[in-house]
Amino acid sequence: MRIINSNISAAAIINDETVNNTESISVFILGESKPYENLDLSNNQSLASAVIIIVLKKNESHNDGQYSCSFFNTNISKWDTTGCTKPQYNKTYDRYECTCNHLTTFALIWSPNLANTKYLTAQDIASIIFLSISILCFIAVIIHSCTTRLLSSVISMNARNLLPLISSASTTILFIFYIALGMTVYTQTTSEKETKCFLSSSVLMFFVYFFLIFMFCTKTSIGYFSYLRFVRLFPEPSYRKLFVLLIISFFISIICTSFAVGFNSNSSYNITQLYENKLCWFTQDMLHYFMTIPIGIFLLLNLVTIVFVAKRILNHVRNATSPHHTYERMKQFVLVLLSSSVAQGVGWLIGPILTFVNADVGNILSWFFIVFCGLEGVWTILLYIIIRSEHMDKPKRYIDGNKRMKKFLLASVKNKK
């Protein structure tokens, strides 16, 4: 036994020079690891060392695999990583190090990379299905609108009526590029050890980021414009104001994406990386600057708008003497649109949260992200139904107004007689 320059008080270092094809093995142990080697044979896992604090010199024969800090869970009879950090390679001492937040004796487990380790998890499949359904919902809305326009000019809607659906259109395009990014990384990544984004994945990533910012800008802009229509029915605000807001949204998205591309062009900043054959996205350090802050701002603006809408609804309930269909439609439209924006905001904010929570909580939050994004198809159909109902109410109001005018004129004539 010998003492080394380390924070560990004492350790036994075993150098077995008689092992063939092995340069050196340095393992800090509590006791004999032999009795524990075959505790869990699932996934071809084998015990590397039985330790409390992991210090293992890299073994060249284990290159084609990965290490994990685990303890043997007697309840399920398997190695469990709950509460343990991911092993980090210490170049100074040429070893792997990790810690656990409990007093259970834990070990460094080595798992081999199998010949075909790339697979889609249940969350990956569910995400693709939910996003695809949302895309199909938007396509169905466009097809139905075009079909009714061709078949009946009376009930058809012009492009200006459907302009608020541009928020759904931006989200649909975002989902298309997001799926393309995920499938590109999944099919073209050859090893899980790759952390550097390749060219096509980087290009798709910045398209996704552009449409992500543009989506939140358009939802916030259309939500604000709809709020103005909601509080000022007569006369309605000009659509020119909405066009100005959309143009501003486009330039904000361009500016944010340009900053990201500019920083990424300098390799020293290291703002992007590959995530386990899944995505090319911002590193954990950069997520808060490029995701949390802008999305948080848009989410706050939408929540403030919801508060004003709720206040307006309460005032209307107190003071209204009779129901007004136009007011009800606008109220429904604003609430659905803002709900869509809040759902997307909460969903995409889950990403940065995943960087500092444990695996179990992260798994649950990932499902929330999938569900919140998948609800976009529901919001799109609801918005279309409300827009269409409002459009259908206009001829009815015109006919009812003519009938009331005729009754008024007839009553006036009778009174004169």
Q: Give the pLDDT confidence of 204-214 residue by residue, as tens digits.
A: 999 999 999 99
Q: Which amino acid belongs to residue 311? A: K
Q: Is the pLDDT of residue 130 over 80?
A: yes
User: What CA–CA distance (Å, rounded) separates 181 from 187?
Assistant: 10
**Within 10 A of 186 (CB to CB), how many other CB atoms are there?**
16
Residues 64 and 128 in one domain: no
Residues 301 and 395 in one domain: yes
Q: Give the pLDDT confidence of 137-159 residue by residue, as tens digits.
A: 999 998 988 888 787 765 556 66
Q: Is residue 408 part of a domain?
A: no
Per-residue pLDDT, 193: 67
Residues 79 and 12 in one domain: yes
**Within 10 A of 23 (CB to CB), how many other CB atoms are there?**
11
Q: Is the pLDDT of residue 251 over 60?
A: yes
Residues 254 and 287 in one domain: yes
Q: Is residue 407 part of a domain?
A: no
Q: Is the pLDDT of residue 250 over 70?
A: yes
Average pLDDT on 111-119 reads: 54
Instruction: Output the average pLDDT for the chain.
Output: 74
User: What CA–CA distance (Å, rounded) separates 299 from 343?
Assistant: 9
Average pLDDT on 33-56 reads: 55
Q: Is residue 200 part of a domain?
A: yes
Q: Is the pLDDT of residue 371 over 70?
A: yes
Structure tokens at 166: 């541009």
User: What CA–CA distance (Å, rounded) separates 53 from 365?
Assistant: 30
Bigger pLDDT: 55 vs 195? 195
User: What CA–CA distance (Å, rounded) separates 331 from 310?
Assistant: 9
Q: Is residue 414 part of a domain?
A: no
Residues 146 and 94 in one domain: no
Residues 80 and 225 in one domain: no
Q: Is residue 410 part of a domain?
A: no
Q: Is residue 271 part of a domain?
A: yes
Residues 73 and 198 in one domain: no
Q: Is the pLDDT of residue 287 over 90?
A: no
Q: Is residue 409 part of a domain?
A: no
Residues 209 and 300 in one domain: yes
Bigger pLDDT: 285 vs 21? 285
Q: In the chain, how many domains are there?
A: 2
Q: Secondary structure of the chain in the HEC alphabet?
A: CCCCCCCCCCCCCCCCCCCCCCCCCCECCCCCCHHHCCCCCHHHCEEEEEECCCCECCCHHHCCEEEEEEEEECCCCEEECCCECCCEEECCCCEEECCECCCCCEEEEEEECCCCCCCCCHHHHHHHHHHHHHHHHHHHHHHHHHHHHHHCCCCCCCCCCCHHHHHHHHHHHHHHHHHHHHHHHHHHCCCCCCCCCCHHHHHHHHHHHHHHHHHHHHHHHHHHHHHHHHHCCCCCCCHHHHHHHHHHHHHHHHHHHHHHHHHHHCCCCCCEEEECCCEEEECHHHHHHHHHHHHHHHHHHHHHHHHHHHHHHHHHHHHCCCCCHHHHHHHHHHHHHHHHHHHHHHHHHHHHHCCCCCHHHHHHHHHHHHHHHHCHHHHHHHHHHHHHHHHHHHHHHHHHHHHHHHHHHHHHHHHHC
Give me the CATH number covering residue 361.
1.20.1070.10
Bigger pLDDT: 126 vs 22? 126
Per-residue pLDDT, 109: 58
Among 117, 147, 177, identify where a domain stops.
117
Average pLDDT on 289-303 reads: 88
Domain that includes residue 47, residue range: 1-117
Per-residue pLDDT, 106: 57
Cis amide leading into 235 (omega within 30): yes
**Within 10 A of 174 (CB to CB), how many other CB atoms are there?**
26
Residues 82 and 131 in one domain: no
High-pLDDT (> 90) share of the chain, %: 16
Q: Is residue 23 part of a domain?
A: yes
Residues 245 and 131 in one domain: yes
Stretch among 111-125, 223-237, 297-311, 352-366 having the lowest mean pLDDT: 111-125
Q: Give the pLDDT confidence of 56-76 residue by residue, as tens digits.
A: 444 444 444 567 777 777 777
Q: Is the pLDDT of residue 111 over 70?
A: no
Residues 146 and 290 in one domain: yes
- Residue with the two structure tokens 């358009």: 218
Residues 109 and 131 in one domain: no
Contacts of 361 (CB under 8 A, 6+ apart): none
Phi-psi region of 383 (alpha: psi -120 to 50; beta: other; left: phi over 0): alpha
State which of 68-72, 85-89, 294-298, 325-329 shows the largest mean pLDDT.
294-298
Among 84, 117, 150, identify where a domain stops.
117
